[in-house]
Amino acid sequence: MLPLTAVMVGLIYSQNSKLALNIAETAMERASQDVVLRVRSLLDPMRRLVNLSVAFGAANRFGLRSPDTLRALVDQLDQFSDVSALYYGFGKDGGFWEAIRISSDHPTAVTGHRPPLGTRYALRIIDNASNGLTDNLVYIAKWGEVLGIERLPSVGYDPRKRPWYQAGLNTKGIATSDVYVFASTGRPGMTLSQKLTTEDGDTFAVFGADLSTDTLSRFLAERAIGQKGIVFILDKENRLIGFPRPEETFRRTGDRFDVVKAEDVADPVVADAVRLRQAGAGDHFRATLGRNSDDYLVEFSQLSEASGDNWTIGVIADEDSFIGPLKQASLRILLLGFAFIVIATLLMLLLSRSLTRPIAILTRQTEAIRDLKLDDAIDVRSSIMEIDALARALATMRTALRSFITYVPKNLVRNIIESGTGTQVGGKRQPLTILFTDIQGFTRTTESMDPEEVLGQLSIYLEEMSAAIYHHSGVVDKFVGDAVMAIWNAPDRDSDHIANACRGVLACRAASERLNADLAANNWPVMPTRFGLHTGPAVVGNVGSLERMQYTALGANVNLASRLEGLNKRYGTEILVTGAIESAVRDRFLFRPLEKVIPVGTSIPIDLFELIGATEPDRPHQASPAAIERCRCWLPAYVAFQAQNWDEATGLLDLFLSVYPDDEPARLLLDRCHHYLADPASADHDTVTRLDTK
């Protein structure tokens, strides 16, 4: 009875569904073509406007910077309500003539002030005056009716540096910029731009027409089909440049808007549809989309290549908008016919649940183990022996793997699991940032302590250091007694590994200071730490044998980082870095130059710097005002020393030491100045210090 009922109901429902889908697909295709035509009707007039304005500008090249130009722009804004601004940017001196559609309810992005009541347009004029370029903003209700004038105190806008100008300058014909923030309104949008050239082919200006995302979003929202329908636009990189709710598609960073990929948008219906298309579903398909698993018809259509945009229009509409009544009738037939089947199926499901439920739990636990999420215990009980044995085996594997990753970097274990290739001896050469730390006088400090006490204090110390390093994307390579070796940019690549390493070192120093404060408060010996940080190419990989290997980094740059840590003893410093570190992140951290040295075991001079603190806003471990002042006072003496002006350097160092008497680098430089003054012959060489001890 079950197969017979299923076949009869299935045939009826299949015929009705095919008929309904044929009707829906035909209607959807027509609706999609209509949307494409309407999008073209929005963009094509803008392109004609750009062509006409470029032709006008080229024909009136020598009179283009005149009130008649602004009047023509205002007239065009009257005719094209979808355009938010029109302007010419001049390449020779950065001049700029613009007409802006503006609202009295919002301040302009140029001045931050609300325009006068009744303002419809603002005219921005950046042009030459007797004292150079001036920037003026004229508010008008219509041409000839001026409501107010604002003179900006300085010219902070250069059209030649804007995205629209560069796009038009580097494109033959009309260019469409990426989404960016309009300087005139402070709103995101895109610009159609085209360069103006002389008869000799020289570019003297670029014309631009702005289309705000607000206008494009409103335009698309009005073209949606049905209550759940969505119309959107993709660029050639599959980014969502047009969407009824633009706030879901842009991420703002300062003056820049990053457009999200369509498959990453917050709207699950659009994201699912785009993913299916990328997976090979084609440009026309029917699918179940979104969190509610509703049925939708999806249509993707390409704008004409002649448009130059290479955009794709996406139209999504729920089936009910086309075939709701017919679908409901088919569903009634389906529900009545399968009522008997459902009752029988429920009995089968109840019986199978005792088998499928523990399997599903074990499947999720296996996926968690694969992702190294090992905190949750596996607690599955089953009367089926095979499932019970599998649960015990998974629990044992989770415990073993959890113990294993305490000895090996977690990211390395994850990479081994994901690659499925196992491990082998060997490595590869790549840029690394390497850190070495050591506790000052650790052996002497702990010689009077019990081994258990040393182990307890050292474990707390190493835990704090490791946490600071991991928190800033580093990996602890190894512990050697009280010393720590850490690396950045391996095994996972890190595009900002030098800055992350600097933040990690500063965090380690802060953790060491906290620990020492606690030790001192409890009458324990303190454990001050020295740090050496360097960056450069090194070989990183598995070293050892097939029976036992270690993931580590090798090379001259690793040895140099180790040497840096030891040099802290000479200079009385905590954190020493090389010039390679300082040159890479000098705009984000405060460094103090010390000397140019040749460490023992090396032959190439390196610039030595002391890392003081961070200068990035809203970052922890900021350089204190006192430290900044100390570096400011130090720099003239250091420059004089490097210039071999011994008398001047001596005076400046004496003055510096009178304020900072405990500064060991200053004392070292002063001793060298006295030596060179007493023995001028010894000063007849560079200022590089050649070290003969570690």
Establish if 77 belongs to a structural domain.
yes
Can you tell me which residue has the tokens 């955009």? 311
Give yes or no: residues 383 and 482 share one domain. no
Query: Highest-confidence range of 210-219, 414-423, 626-635, 679-688, by mean pLDDT?
Result: 626-635
Give yes or no: residues 124 and 166 share one domain. yes
Is 185's pLDDT higher than 80?
no
The mean-pLDDT minimum among 190-204, 544-558, 635-649 falls in 544-558
Question: Among residues 608, 623, 638, which one ends one of the domains?
Answer: 623
What integer pLDDT is reported at residue 363 of this predicted model?
74
User: What is the C-alpha separation between 363 and 361, in angstroms, rounded?
Assistant: 5
Binned at pLDDT 50, 70 and 90, residue 264 comes out as confident
Binned at pLDDT 50, 70 and 90, residue 447 comes out as confident
CATH number, residue 101: 3.30.450.20
Is 106's pLDDT higher than 70?
no
Strand partners, 124: 98, 137
User: What is the C-alpha separation between 414 and 491, in angstroms, rounded?
Assistant: 10
Strand partners, 132: 129
Q: Nearest-CA neighbor of 146 among 183, 121, 171, 170?
A: 121
Establish if 688 belongs to a structural domain.
no
Give yes or no: residues 59 and 125 share one domain. yes
User: What is the C-alpha separation between 84 and 100, in angstroms, rounded?
Assistant: 6
Question: Among residues 214, 249, 267, which one ends one of the domains?
Answer: 214
Query: Highest-confidence range of 83-92, 284-293, 537-546, by mean pLDDT?
Result: 83-92
Give yes or no: residues 480 and 544 share one domain. yes
Bigger pLDDT: 169 vs 340: 169
Establish if 685 belongs to a structural domain.
no
Question: Is 473:494 a contact under the CB 8 Å cutoff?
Answer: yes
Bigger pLDDT: 118 vs 499: 499
Q: Nearest-CA neighbor of 186 among 107, 81, 120?
A: 107
The dihedral sign for the CA sequence 7, 13, 14, 16: positive
User: What is the C-alpha separation between 276 and 340, in angstroms, rounded?
Assistant: 35
Binned at pLDDT 50, 70 and 90, residue 554 comes out as very high
Give yes or no: residues 204 and 113 share one domain. yes
User: What is the C-alpha separation between 678 and 693, in angstroms, rounded?
Assistant: 25
Bigger pLDDT: 558 vs 255: 558
Report the run of H or E that residue 205 belongs to, with start and end: strand 203-212
Bigger pLDDT: 59 vs 153: 59
Is 161's pLDDT higher than 70?
yes
Report yes or no on whether pTM surpasses 0.85: no
Number of domains in the chain: 3
Establish if 230 belongs to a structural domain.
no
What integer pLDDT is reported at residue 625 of this predicted model?
94
Give yes or no: residues 364 and 451 share one domain. no
Question: Among residues 214, 246, 276, which one ends one of the domains?
Answer: 214
Cα pseudo-dihedral 7, 9, 15, 17, rounded to 10: -120
Give yes or no: residues 579 and 456 share one domain. yes
Is 90's pLDDT higher than 80?
yes
CATH number, residue 591: 3.30.70.1230
Give yes or no: residues 450 and 513 share one domain. yes
Give yes or no: residues 497 and 376 share one domain. no
Binned at pLDDT 50, 70 and 90, residue 223 comes out as confident
Bigger pLDDT: 628 vs 82: 628
Establish if 641 belongs to a structural domain.
no
What integer pLDDT is reported at residue 248 of this predicted model?
80
Give yes or no: residues 340 and 475 share one domain. no
Give yes or no: residues 399 and 464 share one domain. no
Give yes or no: residues 462 and 572 share one domain. yes
Bigger pLDDT: 392 vs 553: 553
The mean-pLDDT minimum among 338-352, 467-481, 592-606 falls in 338-352
3-state helix, strand, coil in the chain (%, to 5): 45, 25, 30
Establish if 14 belongs to a structural domain.
no
Binned at pLDDT 50, 70 and 90, residue 421 comes out as very low
What tens digit of pLDDT does each residue of 290-299 get? 888 888 889 8
Residues 6+ apart with CB under 8 A from 579: 606, 607, 608, 609
Q: Quick one: DSSP state of residue 279? A: I
Binned at pLDDT 50, 70 and 90, residue 621 comes out as very high
Establish if 194 belongs to a structural domain.
yes
Residues spanned by the domain of 381 = 330-404
User: What is the C-alpha separation between 19 and 171, in angstroms, rounded?
Assistant: 49
What tens digit of pLDDT does each residue of 637-675 get? 999 999 889 999 999 999 999 999 999 999 999 999 998
Establish if 638 belongs to a structural domain.
no
Question: Is 608:617 a contact under the CB 8 Å cutoff?
Answer: no
